[in-house]
């Protein structure tokens, strides 16, 4: 029997029992949609957390633990590893930088780094350029905002008190220097963190660049960055503050940067093999993936129970179909239909129910997922008053193609298995008994 004729035979019978088949397809749809939507919560949450980790600007950074300073040779060796973008030595000055501009001032951390490596890691600035001349600096995105005078200090204090009374927090974003600092000259004096140290002499610097806005809203970057060539000048300046040993003036930190997130893991493994004590935030991803894999398997398992319940409907429908068509099956067998063909015709019918149910379920699941992602943040925000739900862009439900494949495989297999027994029953029908049945 040609495949097309088999299909015709099946569709003809489905058309004859539209309502019953529709109800069975509906049950299969509900089971499969439940499976997809349930598992999509696991996929969605994993995606949200993954994005949160990946949005970290230091995602390609490999931190090096320990106080050991890298030798030039080691840096060269690490730089030669494939996909290593650079090895950045960041020197933290063990002092607060007290900056003065007009009648304004602010306190910030001061970092010294090779500006070429620094540029490679940080990319484009929000404004200006990286330092190329002596006494040029780059400042953090919020540096200008934190440059305040006494009058503004008082206003901030008042606003903060008011906000505190209302149970909120004021971050001072409405005050500070509003114009561009690019090309402006500031004076910087260093205040060592050690006891009994005095504030150093003021050094003049020109602001030539402003760093990008930090990736998180809550992060404030008011630091000062300068080239390693400035280090001797800073050393001299710090020496004048007294009571500061040369060894305590600076603290070095080495970070290795990969060219992309995907290449972090191989570099990390290589460095670990070479005996370096290194860590990357992507290691959290691995641990998280294991956790979510277990969660998703659990959700799919629970969803499969719904599919199994729906399969009872398919089993009933197919058993009814075989019983109703006993005489027709008898005639088919009498005129020469092989048991294999008869079994296949009924299996095709149950598979058809499974496929249609799955297709509708996939469409419905995508709609539910879309609506859930759009509506849930609004509902949760309204219910809890927490703005984080809408601000953080949380994915409540995500349906990747892999989930569709898994759900379809489960639903269609279960539908076929449900139809197997009735199909076998059809092949066992006795021709003589069947032909004796009344029309």
Partner 1 sequence: MIQVENLQHTFLIGKKGKEKQVPVLKGVNFEVKKGEIVAIVGKSGSGKSTLLQILAGFMKSEQGSIKVNGKEAANFTEVESAAFRLQHFGFIFQNFQLMPGLTASENIELPLKLQGIKKAMRAEKVKILMDKVGLAEVADHYPNELSGGQQQRVSIARALITNPPILLADEPTGSLDSETEQDILLLIQSLNREFGLTFVIITHDEEVATIAHRHFRMCDGELVKEEA
> Where along the sequence are the contacts to partner 1 (CB under 8 A)?
1-2, 4-5, 12-13, 16, 327-328, 330-341, 431-432, 435, 439
Least separation in angstroms between residue 326's CB and partner 1 is 12
Least separation in angstroms between residue 327's CB and partner 1 is 8
Least separation in angstroms between residue 331's CB and partner 1 is 5
Helices vs. strands in the chain: H and E counts, helices first: 15, 10
Q: Which is nearer to partner 1, 324 or 381 (CB)?
A: 324
Beta partners for 224? Answer: 110, 139
Least separation in angstroms between residue 344's CB and partner 1 is 12
Q: Please report where in the chains the tokens 């739900």 appear, as a residue.
A: 389
Helices (H), 17-102: 18-54, 72-79
Cα 246 from Cα 98, distance rounded (Å): 20
Least separation in angstroms between residue 14's CB and partner 1 is 12
Under DSSP, the state recorded for 179 is S
Cα of first residue to Cα of last residue in the chain, in angstroms, is: 26
Least separation in angstroms between residue 346's CB and partner 1 is 16
Q: Which is nearer to partner 1, 248 or 328 (CB)?
A: 328
Q: Which is nearer to partner 1, 19 or 383 (CB)?
A: 19
Least separation in angstroms between residue 50's CB and partner 1 is 53
Q: Which is nearer to partner 1, 383 or 432 (CB)?
A: 432
Contact predicate 403/292, CB 8 Å: no
Q: Which is nearer to partner 1, 28 or 347 (CB)?
A: 347
Q: Which is nearer to partner 1, 329 or 415 (CB)?
A: 329
Q: Smallest Cα–Cα separation from 255: which of 84, 73, 90? A: 90
Q: Smallest Cα–Cα separation from 138: which of 203, 221, 210? A: 210
> Between helices 18-54 and 339-384, what is the axis angle to 10°?
50
**Residue 142 CB contacts under 8 Å (≥ 6 apart), including other chains:** 220, 221, 222
Q: Which is nearer to partner 1, 11 or 236 (CB)?
A: 11
Q: Which is nearer to partner 1, 1 or 380 (CB)?
A: 1
Least separation in angstroms between residue 20's CB and partner 1 is 15
Least separation in angstroms between residue 3's CB and partner 1 is 10
Helices (H), 193-338: 231-239, 246-249, 264-273, 282-324, 326-334
Q: 42: which 2 tokens?
A: 């696991």
Cα 74 from Cα 68, distance rounded (Å): 11
H or E element that contains 401: helix 401-427
Q: Which is nearer to partner 1, 409 or 435 (CB)?
A: 435
Q: Which is nearer to partner 1, 87 or 426 (CB)?
A: 426
Cα 123 from Cα 125, distance rounded (Å): 7
Least separation in angstroms between residue 27's CB and partner 1 is 25
Least separation in angstroms between residue 365's CB and partner 1 is 35
Beta partners for 209? Answer: 128, 138
Q: Which is nearer to partner 1, 16 or 79 (CB)?
A: 16
User: Which string of DSSP letters, residue by residue, matches 205-246?
Assistant: EEEEEEPPPPSSTT-----EEEEGGGHHHHHHHHHTTSS--H
Cα 248 from Cα 100, distance rounded (Å): 25
* Alpha-carbon distances, residue 294 vs 186, 287, 299, 301 (angstroms): 56, 11, 9, 11
């Amino acid at each position: 029997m040609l495949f097309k004729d088999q299909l015709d035979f099946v569709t003809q019978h489905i058309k004859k029992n539209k309502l019953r088949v529709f109800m069975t397809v509906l049950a299969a749809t509900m089971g499969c949609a439940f499976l997809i939507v349930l598992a999509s919560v696991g996929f969605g949450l994993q995606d949200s957390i993954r994005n949160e980790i990946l949005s970290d600007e230091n995602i390609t950074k490999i931190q090096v633990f320990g106080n050991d300073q890298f030798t030039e040779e080691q840096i060269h060796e690490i730089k030669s590893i494939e996909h290593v973008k650079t090895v950045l030595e960041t020197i933290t000055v063990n002092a607060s930088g007290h900056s003065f501009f007009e009648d304004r001032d602010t306190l910030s951390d001061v970092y010294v780094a090779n500006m070429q490596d620094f540029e490679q890691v940080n990319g484009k600035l929000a404004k200006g350029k990286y330092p190329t001349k002596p006494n040029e600096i780059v400042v953090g995105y919020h540096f200008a905002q934190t440059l305040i005078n006494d009058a503004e200090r008082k206003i901030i204090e008042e606003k903060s008190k008011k906000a505190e009374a209302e149970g909120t927090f004021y971050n001072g974003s409405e005050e500070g220097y509003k114009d561009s600092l690019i090309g402006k000259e500031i004076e910087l004096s260093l205040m060592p963190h050690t006891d009994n140290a005095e504030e150093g002499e003021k050094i003049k610097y020109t602001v030539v660049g402003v760093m990008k806005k930090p990736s998180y809203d809550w992060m404030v970057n008011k630091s000062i960055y300068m080239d390693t060539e400035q280090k001797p000048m800073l050393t001299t300046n710090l020496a004048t503050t007294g009571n500061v040993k040369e060894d305590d003036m600076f603290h070095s930190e080495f970070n290795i940067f990969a060219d992309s997130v995907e290449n972090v893991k191989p570099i990390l493994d290589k460095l670990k093999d070479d005996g370096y004590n290194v860590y990357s935030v992507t290691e959290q991803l691995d641990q998280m993936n294991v956790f979510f894999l277990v969660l998703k398997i659990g959700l799919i398992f629970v969803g499969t129970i719904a599919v199994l319940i729906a399969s009872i409907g398919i089993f009933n429908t197919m058993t009814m179909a075989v019983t109703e068509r006993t005489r027709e099956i008898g005639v088919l067998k009498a005129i020469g239909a092989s048991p294999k063909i008869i079994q296949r015709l009924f299996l095709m019918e149950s598979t058809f129910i499974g496929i249609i149910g799955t297709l509708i379920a996939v469409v419905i699941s995508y709609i539910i997922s879309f609506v859930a992602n759009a509506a849930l943040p609004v509902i949760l925000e309204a219910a809890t008053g927490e703005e984080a739900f809408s601000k953080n862009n949380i994915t409540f439900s995500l349906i990747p193609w892999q989930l569709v494949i898994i759900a379809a495989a489960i639903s269609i297999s279960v539908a076929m298995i449900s139809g197997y027994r009735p199909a076998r029953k059809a092949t066992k029908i006795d021709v003589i008994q069947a032909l004796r049945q009344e029309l």
